[in-house]
Amino acid sequence: MKNRKIIYILMIIAIIFGAVMIWKKDFNYGTLYSTHKRLEVAIVKDHDINDIQKIAKESFDSDVIARNSTLFSTSIAIDVKNMNDDQIKNFFTKINEKYGTSFDIKELKKIDILEELNVESISELSDDEINSLISQIKEKYGYEYTKDELLNETSSIRYTDVAKTNIINVIRNFIMPMIVSLAIVAVYFAIRYRNECKHAWILKPLKLVFEMILNQAFIISVIAITRIPVSSYIPILLIFIWLIQILSETIKEEEKLKLANKEE
């Protein structure tokens, strides 16, 4: 009992420290769950996503994630915490060399440039106005567009800023099943101990709830303190430990009851 209290105290200290860490620095989110940049490219040619990943790592950094973003693998998404124009140009150059495509960063820049110049609709402009716009863009931004390129509203490239995913959103779908499973086992403990020990039918379920929540809070605190990147493994880890703990506690209490009945 004394050792258990010491463990409780140590876990609570870790939880407090973890809460402070989360308040001060937040979690260390992995690339897909952090605030990051996403470059999507419609690459219709047959491609190996492992080759794309290799090219992306060479062009951006080690934290980059390349994946197929459509059902039939006709588009790829490159997720990285940060990317600049030179890195994007380098990536396009290598992709074009390998797959014979013609991706150009100016396709990405077109929307931003037109917004900055307050141009709402190219189709409403006269030929002279379009030619003047082309000259203005070339002089100011260094990109040379044709009339057809400006008029074309479709794009095979898209660049977006992706907001951070809160850890609550990561585990949201698992919270209710965990609560329900805990409630069922707690009621089961209350029923099993109803006629066994005085007040045990109340204390045993409360102890179970306390230890289950304490363990989950401790795990989350350890993740925060050690700066382990938060990613898709988090809900799997939490629910796996939750189920193992529920099963082990149930089996342990059943063994205690059997032993008590034999002694009687």
The rounded distance, in Å, linking the Cα atoms of 180 and 192 is 18
Give 30: exposed, middle or buried? Use CB within 10 Å, 0-12, 13-18, 19+: buried
Contacts of residue 41, Cβ cutoff 8 Å, sequence gap at least 6? 75, 76, 78, 95, 103, 156, 157
Structure tokens at 260: 């008590």
- Structure confidence at residue 9 as a pLDDT band (50, 70, 90): very high
Beta strands of the chain (E only): which ranges?
Answer: 36-42, 65-68, 75-80, 157-162
What are the boundaries of each domain within the chain?
2-28+166-263, 31-162
Of all residues in the chain, the percent with pLDDT exceeding 70 is 94
DSSP string, 221-251: HHHHHHTPPB-THHHHHHHHHHHHHHHHHHH
Three-state SS letters, 180-226: HHHHHHHHHHHHHCCCCCCCHHHHHHHHHHHHHHHHHHHHHHHHHHH
Could you report the per-residue pLDDT of 141-197, keeping only the tens digit for each? 888 888 888 888 778 888 888 988 887 877 888 888 888 988 998 888 888 777 666
Of all residues in the chain, the percent with pLDDT exceeding 90 is 26
Q: How far apart are the first and last CA of the chain?
A: 24
133: three-class secondary structure by DSSP:
helix
Could you report the per-residue pLDDT of 196-255, keeping only the tens digit for each? 666 777 888 888 899 999 999 999 999 999 999 888 888 888 999 999 999 988 888 878
